[in-house]
Structure 1
């Protein structure tokens, strides 16, 4: 029986390799048919912003990796409502359809998964 895995991505796409590593883990797990969830929390919500300009920071664009998630079976995508609001993104459309959760719902979400990785 497969263990379910929740990946919590807390870093912005331009602050180092953590955002890319979280996506790589999600894509790899999805390729092996693991039950994967991906939660964007804290600065990780910036990964879902449409206004990405990674070339100006000499970074690679993560949007192709994000768009590939459903093709690899990673469809359980979540985002923190508080993180969006604290960063002024709560009224902007997101680049991916993710379920917006409040703090109580986030706690319940984390409890549903067998394993949790935070990057």
Structure 2
């Protein structure tokens, strides 16, 4: 049986390559049917925020990668409630449906996975 993998994406989509790399790892693992979860934490929650215009800052849009997640069997999407609140975001406006977790639930989530990668 394949080990489960939780990918923690902590970077905003425009702050460097980490956000794209997290999504690439998730999609590659999904292509091999690995059990994968994706947690958006800290500035990583901005990846799910609506109304982004990456071209205005000469960045590539991550929207296509995000929309491909379910196609690759990655349905376990999580977002930290504290990160949303601290950044003034609400769950109703997120680009993808994600389970919102408080701090205690985050600790439980991390314990459920065999391996955790943080980018």
Same fold (TM over 0.5): yes
| Matched residue, 1:4 | 4
Alpha-carbon contact 1:81-1:90 (below 8 Å) kept: no
Aligned equivalent of 2:100: 100
How many equivalent pairs are there? 119
Per-residue deviation, 1:90 = 2.4
Q: Which sections of structure 2, spanning at least 5 residues, go unmatched?
A: none
Which structure 1 segments of 5+ residues have no match?
A: none
Question: For 1:77, what is the secondary structure of its paired residue?
Answer: strand
Partner of 1:14: 14
Tell me the SS of whatever aligns to 1:29.
helix
Alignment of 1:99-118 (within 5 A): 99-118=99-118
Map of 1:34 onto structure 2: 34
- Provide the rounded CA distance (Å) in 2 between the counterparts of 1:57 and 1:2: 39
Cα distance, 1:91–1:78 mapped onto 2, change above 3 Å: closer
The Cα RMSD (Å) is 0.8
1:60-87 deviation digits (Å, cap 9, x = unpaired): 0000100000000000000000000000
CA gap of 1:114–1:91, structure 2 versus 1, over 3 A, is closer
TM-score (norm 1): 0.98
**CA distance in 1 between partners of 2:50 and 2:99 (Å):** 17
Instruction: Classify the secondary structure of the residue corresponding to 1:26.
Output: helix
Q: Would the aligned equivalents of 1:4 and 1:34 in 2 still touch at CA under 8 Å?
A: yes
Match of 1:49 in 2: 49
